[in-house]
Amino acid sequence: MRILVLGADGYLGWPTALHFSARQHTVALVDSFLRRDLHKQRGTGSLTPIATMPERISAWREVTGTELPFYELDITDYAAISAVIAEFRPDAIIDYAEIPSAPYSMIDREHSIVTQRNNVEGTLNLLWAMREFAPDAHLVKLGTMGEYGTPNIDIEEGWIDITHNGRTDRMPFPKQPGSFYHLSKVHDSDNIAFTTRIWGLRATDLNQGVVHGIETPETALHDTLVNRFDYDEIFGTALNRFCVQALTGNRITVYGSGNQRRGFLNIRDTLQCVELAVTNPAARGEFRVFNQFTEVFSIRELADTVARCMRSMGRDCEIAHLDNPRVESEDHYYNPSNKGLLDLGLKPVYLSDDLLASALSVVSRFAGSSDARAMEPATTWR
Amino acid sequence: MRILVLGADGYLGWPTALHFSARQHTVALVDSFLRRDLHKQRGTGSLTPIATMPERISAWREVTGTELPFYELDITDYAAISAVIAEFRPDAIIDYAEIPSAPYSMIDREHSIVTQRNNVEGTLNLLWAMREFAPDAHLVKLGTMGEYGTPNIDIEEGWIDITHNGRTDRMPFPKQPGSFYHLSKVHDSDNIAFTTRIWGLRATDLNQGVVHGIETPETALHDTLVNRFDYDEIFGTALNRFCVQALTGNRITVYGSGNQRRGFLNIRDTLQCVELAVTNPAARGEFRVFNQFTEVFSIRELADTVARCMRSMGRDCEIAHLDNPRVESEDHYYNPSNKGLLDLGLKPVYLSDDLLASALSVVSRFAGSSDARAMEPATTWR
């Protein structure tokens, strides 16, 4: 298949591009390097020493003999992205090309607007370009489990059958997102659903949990293919932060009680899920939603797991509870469904102590160059 | 109370400002004249000869002795709107300051983006300005019944109790808006709800039906206070178009079968509703939603009513069904609740043949200057 990966320089975009390329698909890459720029502005960066895109592409050519065409452009530029879609004629467009940070969107007014404008207008451009140049292509859009919030009922996959006053309809599952970033993803989902209805586009919304892991079989083939690893308060995940804190002898910082429960999955499962979505496309006019995670943990359980692994490696590790900078429920029901991708054949890689120990050993090669200040929670929701 | 009206030059903003001013509230006006500019660009305009804002304000001063401070600014300009909020210290902010047209948003990519950017970023600015300068003020935001679409269950007011797999929660009512414009209102509602939750702002979302009528007791006090009346395919409503078509001897053009059912209310009821919302404010942290309409009609019923009124005035009137340029259900269940405002004391003015006949007589004074081409459906959803 012909697969266009948007955000192909990113933590998931890069391994996704390699994954499909290794499986003999024709892959093209798009990125604007916005993430690298934002890191530069903030004085932060990936813990792992990621190569430039030209270096990455020539390493992949060296290892596999395969060329990866790359387009440096921002999908908020319609002329640029529509020209690529018209030229490349993708069967599937995998869209990771968004600002993916809740704290970034909460810094101040400007950041809330930049996040929503960038994400929503990029997606709108994509939809109009598909209508014009690739109406039969399949949009595989990365959403987030954070779109749902933490309702007191089971979370279904995008749609829910509601019976009310004796009548029944299949309705969009109500969303209660927890940041301006998460809101931008809800706006996206609503805009996409509309265009499947009026233009008959095909789309899959992957509401993804928090991804852990660094390496994939393809990024491990060459040092220059190394994947990015964000651990700062803006772009890093809690688990990444915990790993770096533990390995540098700092306290693991949990926001609030840590009883907040979330969906998680390994990066290799992200690749499986996206491949399952791409190779089993949505129908024309279908807005298909999968919840893309494999297990649920509380943040406290994650912290405990990291501490346990450290102790088994003979190192002490302290857990500290900070005042929660976010506004979120800390004790809540959480039972999301993830049936759709399992039914398509997903075979999860669960977060075992062994898996975490191996992740810790990768991180430990670079932990010495980490910046403790970058992990302090400077952004508050209030 | 101190009341700031945003979009105060508009069809609802202007009568709203006069309504509160006549009731001894302290009212300030904000508008950017975007609607007048968009009309100018398109070569269309209000059927009624509306005065300039300085003329309107001096007519009101002449009639009542009351001064209406006016700020010409666009709420997408944060420095400008936040300065006004800081200076005026409103108890309530009534927000009509949006691009209000479904067809406008569907013209092409640029118009979809302009609509969403203008509406969503204006509202975001407002929320941040309230957080900074008026955290206790009450936001009264005009939404639309079109946010809900036409689900096969009763439409509640913003929230619905859902019981699912034996558990129950009060959830946002699922929305299925029918244009990029209606989507912008859903994005607004989601952004506002979030800020009531995290910042404790107070907000009322008024999901309004289609408004009919021109005059209010205050606009009738002086010719220069005359309200705008849009009848073109972009900014006009179906009923306005039907009136102008009938009075100019043209066919009434119904999109499709005309079985589409919608909520409607008279402009005087809009003023009642907004006053009820303002004088009974939402609590801190509350996202309150009212469905603001008084009766439900099908488009075909409206066309029939206009034709009947014309015939009783001794004039013939033909109804034509055009191919529907929109993508919408033409045969659907529609039973929205409007309990909240009735419970607060709303006394509706229903659309009787008498009321329509009197509206027709107002319109007939200006119908001679109408432009038949402006009423042709040039914008298609597909």
Residue-wise pLDDT tens digits, A233-289: 999 999 999 999 999 999 999 999 999 999 999 999 999 999 999 999 999 999 999
Please enumerate in sequence order all residues whose Cβ is within 8 A of that of B178, keeping only pairs 6 or more positions apart, or say none: A194, B102, B146, B149, B326, B327, B328
The model's confidence at residue B108, banded by pLDDT at 50, 70 and 90, is very high
What average pLDDT score do residues B10-30 get?
98
Q: What are phi and psi of B162, to 5 degrees?
A: -110, 125
**Token pair of A246 as six digits:** 């533990």
The model's confidence at residue B43, banded by pLDDT at 50, 70 and 90, is very high
Q: How many CB atoms lie within 10 A of CB B327?
A: 16
ipTM score of complex: 0.97
Chain B's closest residue to A121, CA to CA, is: B113
Eight-class DSSP state of B336: B
Interfacial A residues in 145-184 facing B (CB < 8 Å): 151-154, 156, 160, 162-165, 167-169, 171-180, 183
Q: How many CB atoms lie within 10 A of CB A382?
A: 10
Interfacial B residues in 185-214 facing A (CB < 8 Å): 186-187, 190-191, 193-194, 197-199
Please enumerate in sequence order all residues whose Cβ is within 8 A of that of A54, keeping only pairs 6 or more positions apart, or say none: none
Euclidean distance between CA atoms B148 and B292, whole angstroms: 13
The model's confidence at residue A60, banded by pLDDT at 50, 70 and 90, is very high
Query: pLDDT tens for residues B236-290?
Result: 999 999 999 999 999 999 999 999 999 999 999 999 999 999 999 999 999 999 9
Residue that has been written with the tokens 């709800």 in this structure: B193
Shortest distance, CA A371 to any CA of chain B (angstroms): 30
Residue B12 is predicted with a pLDDT of: 98
What average pLDDT score do residues B8-12 get?
98
Chain A's closest residue to B115, CA to CA, is: A121
Question: Is the distance from CB of B139 to CB of B204 less than 8 angstroms?
Answer: yes
- pTM of this prediction? 0.98
From the list B288, B272, B294, the residue with the least C-alpha distance to B16 is B272
Any idea what the Cα angle at residue B339 is, between residues B338 and B340, rounded to 5°?
100
What average pLDDT score do residues A58-80 get?
98
Euclidean distance between CA atoms B339 and B273, whole angstroms: 12
The model's confidence at residue A9, banded by pLDDT at 50, 70 and 90, is very high
Per the CB < 8 Å rule, is B162 touching A174?
A: yes
Instruction: Using an 8 Å CB-CB cutoff, list chain A residues near B337.
Output: none
Please enumerate in sequence order all residues whose Cβ is within 8 A of that of A110, keeping only pairs 6 or more positions apart, or say none: none
Strand blocks (E) in chain B: 2-6, 26-31, 70-72, 92-95, 138-144, 159-164, 167-172, 202-208, 210-212, 252-255, 261-266, 287-292, 295-298, 319-322
> What is the average pLDDT value for chain B, to the nearest integer?
97
Please enumerate in sequence order all residues whose Cβ is within 8 A of that of B149, keeping only pairs 6 or more positions apart, or say none: B175, B176, B177, B178
Nearest CB neighbour to A168, from listed B124, B153, B199: B153
What per-residue string of b and e applies to A179-192 under the rule 16 or more CB within 10 Å gives b? bbbbbbbbbbbbbb
Q: How many CB atoms lie within 10 A of CB A132?
A: 13
Interfacial B residues in 271-330 facing A (CB < 8 Å): 327
Q: How many CB atoms lie within 10 A of CB B156?
A: 18
Per the CB < 8 Å rule, is A154 touching B164?
A: yes
Euclidean distance between CA atoms B203 and B138, whole angstroms: 6
Give the SS3 label for residue A28: strand
What percent of chain B shows pLDDT beyond 90? 99
A222 close to B (CB below 8 A): no
Residue A332 is predicted with a pLDDT of: 97
Question: Is the distance from CB of A20 to CB of A108 less than 8 angstroms?
Answer: no
Write the single-letter amino acid at B27: V
Active site residue A181: yes
Per the CB < 8 Å rule, is A164 touching B154?
A: yes
Nearest CB neighbour to B194, from listed A113, A163, A177: A177
Instruction: Using an 8 Å CB-CB cutoff, list chain A residues near B194.
Output: 177-180, 183
Alpha-carbon Rg for chain B in angstroms: 20
Please enumerate in sequence order all residues whose Cβ is within 8 A of that of B177, keeping only pairs 6 or more positions apart, or say none: A190, A194, B146, B147, B148, B149, B183, B185, B186
Active site residue B144: yes
Residue A262 is predicted with a pLDDT of: 98
**Residue of B78, B153, B180, B196 to mutate when probing chain A, most A C-beta within 10 A:** B153
Euclidean distance between CA atoms A163 and A160, whole angstroms: 10
Interfacial B residues in 357-376 facing A (CB < 8 Å): none
Residue B141 is predicted with a pLDDT of: 98
| Set A123, A148, A185, A237: catalytic member | A185
Residue that has been written with the tokens 């919408």 in this structure: B328
Instruction: Using an 8 Å CB-CB cutoff, list chain A residues near B180.
Output: 124, 191, 194
| Set B11, B150, B175, B185: catalytic member | B185
Question: Is the distance from CB of A172 to CB of A192 less than 8 angstroms?
Answer: no
Query: pLDDT tens for residues A310-332?
Result: 999 999 999 999 999 999 999 99
The model's confidence at residue A19, banded by pLDDT at 50, 70 and 90, is very high
Phi and psi based region of residue B346 (left: phi greater than 0; alpha: psi -120 to 50; beta: remaining): beta
The model's confidence at residue B70, banded by pLDDT at 50, 70 and 90, is very high
Per the CB < 8 Å rule, is B174 touching A162?
A: yes
Per the CB < 8 Å rule, is A175 touching B190?
A: yes
What average pLDDT score do residues A145-169 get?
98
Query: pLDDT tens for residues A106-136?
Result: 999 999 999 999 999 999 999 999 999 999 9
Query: What is A148-187 written as a DSSP string?
Result: S---SS-B-SSEEEEEETTEEEEEEPP---SSHHHHHHHH
The model's confidence at residue A291, banded by pLDDT at 50, 70 and 90, is very high
| Set B16, B44, B144, B204: catalytic member | B144
Please enumerate in sequence order all residues whose Cβ is within 8 A of that of B313, keeping only pairs 6 or more positions apart, or say none: B357, B360
Interfacial B residues in 59-98 facing A (CB < 8 Å): 78
**Token pair of B240 as six digits:** 């306005």
Interfacial A residues in 117-146 facing B (CB < 8 Å): 117, 120-121, 124-125, 128
Give the SS3 label for residue B254: strand
